[in-house]
Amino acid sequence: MQLNGSQIVMECLLEQGVDTVFGYPGGAILNIYDALYEYSDRIRHILTSHEQGASHAADGYARATGKVGVCMATSGPGATNLVTGIATAYMDSIPLVAITANVGTALLGKDSFQEIDIAGVTMPITKYSMIIKNVKDLAPAIRKAFRIAQTGRPGPVLLDITKDVTGAMCEYLSVEPEPIARQKFSIQEPDIIQALDLIEKAERPMIFAGGGVILSDASEELAEFARRLDAPVTCSLMAQGAFDQANPRYTGMLGMHGTKTSNYAVTECDLLVAIGVRFSDRCTGNTATFAKNAKILQLDVDPAEINKNVMTDASVIGDVKLILDVLNSRMGEQHHPEWLAHVSDMQQKYPLTYPADVLTGPGVIAKVSELTKGDAIITTDVGQHQMWSAQYYTYRSPRTFLSSGGLGTMGYGVGASIGAQVAHPDKRVINFTGDGCFRMNFNEIATITRNNLPIVTVIINNHVLGMVRQWQTLFYGKRYSNTILEDKMDFVKLVEAMGAKGYRVRSMEELEPTLKEAMELHAPVVIECIVDHDDKVFPMVAPGASIDDVFSAEDM
């Protein structure tokens, strides 16, 4: 049948199972938005307050569902406002398709109004980016974009469509999408044999799980692998929820703000099985001393990650769900009671603690964890509250912790919470943020109230840029250059002006009743929690130090 380019975009989105897109209209993309009006009964559009909010919402939707998130923006500044969100998705391997519209083909390269080469701009931060200048290429390009976004290691793809293409007519034939096959071809038998040999010889094995476990839906296989290997498990920031944190095998997060138990156990183990991790500097510390007593076995879908940051002794390349399936079916059950007892003793010796009598970030997050019983989707911004969210909330299942890990994007949380809540309207969604981060994208509270999304946003307000100030305190002689936020901002009045219910909490006695009331409202809520500006995230490893040089407040 004959359709115009914008209708073809809609039909292709329906082919791919897309039911929701996030975006903001403008001149060059008007034809596509006109088609959205026609297809509004089948494709829901969430109008955000800013294009960056749309990209974060699409990212949050993707993380919460495992599906491809979709965002849209017009040419010029609309497209460039997506860049931070695209880069966030790229660093954390999140499947995203960003659709932008550009000026007409005849106007390209002439510095036309709102013209920009967004495909060129985003080339380093996408798996694939292209501009479409012929309507006959449109449907194949969209199908290719979704396939690339989901194949192998996921990631974002950008499609830029010239305005004349969005209005041009073309014959359209519906195509059933081919299933996305898991990467199996690279799982080699010699690699499996070598992995099994290392496993059987290990006396002190440790599992280090990364975000790839969640991306491949391999949490059940990881749990079985940990049982069969009889090993403790530590997780990266991106793997929160990949392993049930109520399981006694879980030792906490690894790295700069990891637990002492995890950092010491990785240092003492004789085999480190790294699953879906990229050995970020925030996890490894000094790579020369990382896991210095261990053989390292790395399982990952991306061969580029092998021996990139940390040298390995063996590796298996492929989808980690399939790799774990193979290993679980072929390895004998291992037994390491003395090692597990030693790790358990460390957990008792080095617990995470916080003062119970005053309001603190850890106390707020621990109370939310208690009240929700770990059954909520948590989004965060970046900084101290992000680390506390990883340390003090007990995640029971994957896709319940949504946070910007690789890029560390302040302002991510509100948009991501929108995507998560739209994806899961019956789930409790709670966004933890700091006063510095909240300023970045608080305009998306208007998006939340416009759509009556029952998101609870908790601001940990210490009136400073907390993590930067912590570094200034510890490493910069307490020279607090531009990190103090003692201004007249009233967050409660601000959010109420945008239609949300606002609360302010100053003590632990006020916290629980306020949280309970907020969650019972089933409406947009923002809770400002006033904490001390010198609260710090501990444990901590100094930049460039070995992870076993981890220290806490008591050590100081």
Nearest to 17 by CA among 49, 56, 61: 61
Identify any residues that bridge with 96 across adjacent strands, giving them in sequence order: 69, 156
CB 445 within 8 A of CB 524: yes
Half-sphere exposure for 324 (CA within 13 Å, toward CB): 27
> How far is residue 20 from each of residues 40, 128, 458, measured CA to CA in Å?
10, 22, 26
The torsion angles phi and psi of 154, rounded to 5 degrees, stand at -65, 170
Catalytic residue among 67, 114, 331, 501: 114
How many other CB atoms sit within 10 Å of the CB of residue 516?
10
The SS3 assignment for 405 reads coil
Annotated catalytic residue 51: yes
Residue whose entry in the numeric block shows the structure tokens 């081919």: 178
Q: Are 61 and 22 in contact (CB under 8 A)?
A: yes
Catalytic-role residue among 72, 256, 346, 467: 467
Determine whether 113 is an active site residue.
Answer: yes
Q: How many CA atoms lie within 13 A of 364 on its CB side?
A: 34
421 is catalytic: no
CB atoms under 10 Å from CB of 193, counted, come to: 11
**Side chain identity at 373, as an amino acid letter?**
K
201 is a catalytic site residue: no
C-alpha distances out from residue 510 to 378, 521, 524, Å:
22, 17, 19
Please identify which of the residues 7, 10, 16, 51 carries the catalytic annotation. Answer: 51
Does 298 participate in catalysis according to the annotation? no
Q: How many residues does the chain have?
A: 556
Distance CA 527, CA 270 (A): 46
Residues 513, 515, 520, 521, Cα dihedral to 10°: 110
**Short-list 545, 555, 354, 386, CA closest to 460:** 386
**Complete DSSP assignment for 153-209:** S--EEEEEEEHHHHH-EEE----PPPP-----TT--HHHHHHHHHHHHH-SSEEEEE
Catalytic position from the list 113, 136, 311, 516: 113
> What are the E-state strand segments in 418-516?
429-434, 456-461, 501-505
The DSSP string of 83-129 is HHHHHHHHHTT--EEEEEEES-GGGTTTT-TT---HHHHTGGGSSEE
Q: Beta strands of 314-428 (E only): which ranges?
A: 314-317, 377-380, 401-402
> Looking at 11, 72, 150, 163, which residue is catalytic?
163
Catalytically annotated residues: 51, 113-114, 163, 467
